[in-house]
Amino acid sequence: MDIDPVKAVALISGILAILDKLYTYGQAAYLKKTHRRERILKKTFSARTTHMITATVG
pLDDT at 58: 47
Average pLDDT over residues 28-36: 74
Q: Where are the alpha helices (DSSP H) in the chain?
A: 5-57
d(CA 33, CA 41): 12
- SS3 state of residue 4: coil
pLDDT at 24: 85
pLDDT at 39: 63
**pLDDT band at 15; cut points 50, 70, 90:** very high
Is residue 19 left, alpha or beta, with left meaning phi > 0 and alpha meaning psi from -120 to 50? Answer: alpha
Q: How far is CA 48 from CA 31, 39, 53, in A?
A: 26, 14, 9
